[in-house]
Each structure stands twice: as C-alpha cells, then as structure tokens.
Amino acid sequence: MEPLDGNVAGGMLREVFALEVTAARGRCDGCGAEAFLAEARAYVDAPGLVLRCASCDSALLVLVRGDGRVWLGVQGLTWLELRA
Amino acid sequence: MVVSRGFRGRGRRDDSGRVPPGQYLTDDFPVLSAGPTPQTSLDEWSFTIGGEVDEPRRWTWDEFRAVPSETVTVDIHCVTKWSKLDTTWEGISVDTLLDGVETSAEHVVAFCEGGYTTNLPLEDVTSGRAWIAFGYEREPLDAEHGGPARLLVPHLYFWKSAKWVRGLALRNEDEPGFWERYGYHLYGDPWREQRYWGD
Amino acid sequence: MAGAAVLGRLTPAAPLAWRVATVAGVREETPRVRTLVLEVDGWPRHRAGQHVDIRLTAEDGYQAERSYSIASGPGDGLELTVELVENGEVSPYLVEELVTGDVFEIRGPIGGYFVWDPEEGGPLLLVGGGSGVVPLRAMLRTRPTGVPARLVYSARVLEDVIYRDELDRLGSDVVVTLTREERDGRRSGRVGADLLREVGFGPDDEPRIFVCGPTSFVGAVASALVDLGHPPERVRTERFGPTGR
C-alpha cells in the first residue's frame, strides 16, 4: 500500500495548528532535506499520523489523538517555517 | 452525534464478552503502518536476544525455523478499535527462545526492521503469552502484516505485536517504544482500555 | 513565488469545526463516480485545489473519516466528486447508498499548498490521473479567460473519464489519454515525458504545475516534469489513494 502525502493530514493538523501547516516548509533533522509538509510521506492508517521525510523516511512529525487528548511530536523536524 | 442513515462500517458491536470495551468486531485484517513496509531477504534476516543477558543469542532464518514452533488461535485487539477473533498463527514461543537465557532484567524492548520499537514487561512475553510468528492462517506471514516474522502478544493491544521484529533487548528499566513515546500507553491492556498515556 | 496572492500559503485559519452537510442532490458522472451536491450552513468560500474531511457515524457509534477534493469552483457552492473504491468502506456508501436529504459531518475547506488562486496567474499545467482530475477541474472552473491552461488527464477507459462533456468543450486545452483501451480520436498510453513535452507548457513558459492522482502516477509524472527541465519548486503534488481511516 503506497503512502499518501501530507496533504491528507491537513484537517488533522488544523486541530493543533492555527495555520495551514501542510503549506509550511520544514527541514528534516535526519538528512537536512527541506520540503513542504504536504510533500512528506503520510501514514494515516496507523494508530496515529506519521509524516516521514520523502528523502530519507525519518519520522518528521507524529500526531496521536484519542480520548479528547492530542499528542504532537515534531522532533524529526529541525524547524518548520511558520511565516511565509 | 450525527448519524448517517444506512451507513454501516466494517466493524460491529459484539456482546459475547470476547470483545474488550470500546472495540468493534471485524472480519477483515486491516493493515496499519507507521512507515514503509520493509522488504527483507531471508538471507539477511536474523533474530537476536540481547541486552541485560549473560550471553546474547542470535538465529539466522534457517536456524530460527529449525526451532520447534506451534500453532495458536487467539483473539487480537487493535487500539484503533477493531478486534478480530480466532486468528490462527504459527510461531515460536518466546519462552523457547529465552530458554537458558540468564537475566535479572524485568523489561524488554522489541526492535524491528525500519526502526519501530515497543516495550513490554518481560513477564508479558513469557509463560506462554507471546510468540515470534511467521505464519498466519496457514500461510507465510505477508510483509504488510509483519512478515517474515512479527512479535505476537495477543493479550495486549496489537501495537505491542511489533511487525518486522528482529530481536528482543532485555532491559532493567521500562523504555517507551515508538508509540509509547508519542502518546500511547506504556502497558496497553485492552480489558482496562489502556489506550493512551496515563489512562 | 512571484505575484503574491492576497491569501498566503499559511493564512491564519479559524479553528476547523465539524459541521453538518446535507445532500442536496447527486449526479452520476460515470458508472463508478458520483458528484454530491452539498449544503452546509455558513460554508465559507473555498480555494481551488482544497479538500474537505468527512465523517460518517453508524447507529452503533462506529465512525469512519475520509478526505475528498472539492470539485466545484470557488463561489459555486460545494460539490464533491467521489470514486467507488473496490472493497471500500466509505465510498460504496457515498456512491451507491446516499440520497438527497441524507447527512454527514464535514470540515474544511482544508489546504494551503495544493491551491491555485487566479491572482497568481499562469500559465497553468494540470496533470491528473483518475479521480485526481477533481481538484484540477476546480482550478479550471475558477480560471479567468486570460490565463492559459492545459490539462493532461489519464483515465483507464473512455467510460471512466469524469466531466467528459465539460472537458471536451475546452478543446485542445485538454488532452485525455486512455491507458487500457484504444479509441478513435483519443490518445492512448501513460502520461510520460514525451506526451508532456508535446502538449504541455515548456519550462520557458514558467507554468504553475499541479499533479494529482494515485501515488505511483504522481511520482512518475513529477519525475518526468523535472526531467523536462521544470524546476521542482514549480511542481505541486497531491496523492490520492484508499485509506483505512
């Protein structure tokens, strides 16, 4: 099953960001590649959302929702450019 | 709750008592992945038991398959709310692999091809509670379901049954694995609905 | 990007709430594809290329969520075009069961990357595979007459071509290629560098490029475009596919 891209995570990420964060550029902490989050490989069928670098497959961002709580992990991103 | 007339999903409620709270019964076997499916050649595959042990152990695929295995039928429960009853697996009991291993460790981390990890108490993978499974419904385990081999620990939520397992590292401390670090429960008992961190 | 749009990529957005969508009408596009005409109280104007998330709840509380691109142009109401996925959980319900008056939950519009606003200008090179044509058609619908556009659309057979009449009216701006059959007057074969070089805008035209469809289609087309000399930063992609969620 081929992964989709970060576009599909847009709605989920709007639960935690007040911006359209899939349109933000990020830098992969694993390999240094820079890309829009929309271009990351998205695994949405998991127990949570995992966005992986399209160049090296490192996990950039992980989002788990359940029970009214949301956990966001972004340690795979060196930075996210939050102002265009 | 906005109900959509006539919509029936893949899951259904079940009152038989075999389905833990909050779960839906399914006949499918959904594929859930946190990353790409590794394509492993059996020539390169190995399984290791290491960490806080007197002597690490290692098996190649051929050595592994020569170890006595068994067929078990178990119910499985995924934290994403689907449960599947009476699934049949062929695998090697973790007890068999740990036979003769000396350790005072009480915790285990399962590590996998692709980097996935999950943590369990050692007692939850022993005493007949866990297997390294290589067959599902009398066929070799598909890569998308964790083949060549996955951990099988049916009494806990299925994210603990780590796909593409390559070994167990025994530890003195409980070390949260991939999902446990990102919000899932350290232990994961479906009967107490321990889905998320702190539940 | 040149010609900064009034709306930026990262436009601060109002929190996305789930709202109720009521089906106001349905339209069969092809044997396996249907357009849903929806009414949502207070639906804001969307941008071409954006999508929505929908959520279906069964009587026993079971829920399934999916995402669908908005098919209608900005300002033209809210329409979604859904393709029936074999053994799907949600699409059979939307394509075969749903009737006027039915309801489900919806949130959106979503997206700030795979969007095109007319103020950005063109030319526009749009490449779609299968139901990937849906957001591209929304872009064509919002395009003012002064902006040149080309759509390259790959479908399996002629019967699967969505919006066929509308696209045929666009004449040579639209090139349909069929991958599983040969038909008089229609091209055959996959979308590759040769076809794109022949019918698409070249790098010197500096087109804005949008590619949408199944993951393997998008990967192959994006590579072909870069091989033809288009800068990767001018190629925007959106991958479709079945999801279990």
Domain edge (last residue) among C90, C110, C130: C110
In this prediction, residues C186-210 reach a mean pLDDT of 96
Residues in A lying within 8 Å of B, measured between beta carbons = 1, 3, 41, 43, 45-48, 50, 52, 57, 59, 62, 64, 66-67, 69, 71, 73
Task: Please give the Cα distance from C187 to C194 (Å, whole number).
Answer: 13
pLDDT-derived band at A9 (thresholds 50, 70, 90) equals very high
**Domains defined for chain B, CATH in brackets:** 24-28+64-192 (3.90.420.10)
Q: Specify if C6 maps to a domain.
A: no
Q: C62, C94, C110 — which closes off a domain?
A: C110
pLDDT in tens, B121-147: 999 999 999 999 999 999 999 999 999
**SS3 assignment, position B73:** strand
Q: Which residues pair with B71 in a beta bridge?
A: B90
For residue range C124-176, list pLDDT tens digits in order.
Answer: 999 999 999 999 999 999 999 999 999 999 999 999 999 999 999 999 999 99
Residue C26 inside a domain? The answer is yes
Count how many domains chain A has.
1
* Structural domain span for residue A28: 4-81
Q: What CA–CA distance (Å, rounded) separates A28 from C17?
A: 30
User: How many domains is chain C built from?
Assistant: 2
CA–CA separation, C39 and C43 (whole Å): 8
Amino acid at residue number B13: R
Residues C236 and C122 in one domain: yes
| Sheet of strand B57-60: strand arrangement | B57-60, B46-51, B165-171, B107-112, B117-121
> Same domain, yes or no, for C105 and C122?
no
Q: What is the pLDDT of residues B12-21, one digit of tens each?
A: 888 889 999 9
Q: What CATH code is carried by the domain that includes residue C123?
A: 3.40.50.80
Helix (H) or strand (E) segment spanning residue B36: none
B3 with C244: Cβ contact below 8 A? no
What are the pLDDT digits (tens) for B55-104?
999 999 999 999 999 999 999 999 999 999 999 999 999 999 999 999 99
Range of the domain at C126: 118-240
Contact C56 B7 (CB under 8 A): yes
Q: What is the pLDDT of residue C3?
A: 37
Task: Summarize pLDDT for C32-62 with one digit per residue, the tens.
Answer: 999 999 999 989 999 999 999 999 999 999 9
At C131 the pLDDT is 97
C215-238, pLDDT tens digit by residue? 999 999 999 999 999 999 999 999
Do C206 and C123 share a domain, yes or no?
yes
Model confidence at C7, pLDDT cuts 50, 70, 90, reads low
C5 touches A at CB < 8 Å: no
Q: What is the CATH number of the domain that holds C72?
A: 2.40.30.10
Mean confidence (pLDDT) of chain B: 96
User: Which subunits have 3 or more CB–CB pairs within 8 Å of chain B?
Assistant: A, C
Per-residue model confidence as pLDDT tens digits over C82-116: 999 988 999 999 999 999 999 999 999 999 999 99
Q: How far is CA C103 from CA C20, C65, C145, in A?
A: 7, 14, 36
Is A24 within 8 Å of C15 when comparing Cβ atoms?
no
Comparing CB atoms, the residue among B11, B31, B32 nearest residue C62 is B11
Nearest to C237 by CA among A6, B191, B61: A6
Range 133-172 of C in CB contact (< 8 A) with A: none
Structure tokens at A53: 């670098």
What are the backbone angles phi and psi of residue C90, rounded to the nearest 5°?
-105, -40
Among candidate residues C67, C86, C110, the one where a domain is terminated: C110
Residues C52 and C135 in one domain: no
Contact (CB<8Å) B179/A3: no
pLDDT: which is higher, C31 or B10: C31
Contact criterion met (CB < 8 Å) for B7 and C93: yes
